[in-house]
Amino acid sequence: MEALERELSCPYCNNLFSSPLLLPCGHSVCCKCAYNLLASSGTSKTPANPESSEETDRCFSCPECKNAVFLDDRGLRCLCPNLTLQNIIERVKGTEAATARSSDGNLACEVCEKSPAADAVKTCVTCELSFCDKCLTAVHSRKAFVKHRLVDPLTVTVPKTPKCQDHGEEKLSLYCVSDETIICPRCTESDGRHSAHPVVELPEMYQEMKVTWYF
């Protein structure tokens, strides 16, 4: 499983791909990583393509092969989602969730950092994660999680990730620190409502909330 996870990891953040985008070179990066790569590429003007004299600052390098990725006026939206890769990752996550067990054989909390993890008391079908009592309180006491659906622990999480109200089929996978709300990667683009706001990945936010609650 470790070898497979390495193959399914983003070359920029080294985590499992999250909303992967397919680059022209054939490699993929997470949507948020593509945004970070574009933001860190600087404002120096670069030819839109080798055969054109027109210049644009919508360009970044593939972190895998270093080839230039040129974007048109749509920005990152001109890159196609790698749906095949995303489906494979969802299957891997589902397998891990189905086999995760605590020391006494019960379903284990998927947010706990301690080993062995504590027993899960609830599964959130919105987060697609199972939580122990402490982790559940730490995360779901925030207003952004009030409408999440909690059920008794499931051996396989039912994928019911809510979609972004502003961007249709985009999954809500990020947390806006400024507005304390869950958003999709496209919300962070230049024309999005959260373009200038600090954001974190949901798993990272879970850990931050848990640490804050503990101390």
* Domains (range + CATH), the chain: 2-81 (3.30.40.10), 100-214 (3.30.160.60)
- Label each residue of 135-155 as H, E or C: HHHHHHCCHHHCCCCEECCCC
Exposed/middle/buried for 183, CB within 10 Å: 0-12, 13-18, 19+? Answer: buried
Helix (H) or strand (E) holding 65: none
pTM confidence score: 0.45
Q: Tell me: the pLDDT tens digits for 148-187?
A: 888 888 755 444 456 777 777 777 778 888 887 888 888 8
Confidence band of 101 (pLDDT split at 50, 70, 90): low
Average pLDDT, the chain: 75
**pLDDT of 197:** 86
Average pLDDT over residues 35-39: 88
> Cα angle at 206 between 168 and 101, to 5 degrees?
105
**pLDDT of 28:** 94
Average pLDDT over residues 4-22: 87
Find the farthest-apart pair of alpha carbons in the chain and give their distance in angstroms, rounded. Answer: 66
Phi and psi, residue 113, nearest 5°: -95, -20
| Side chain identity at residue 77, one-letter code | R
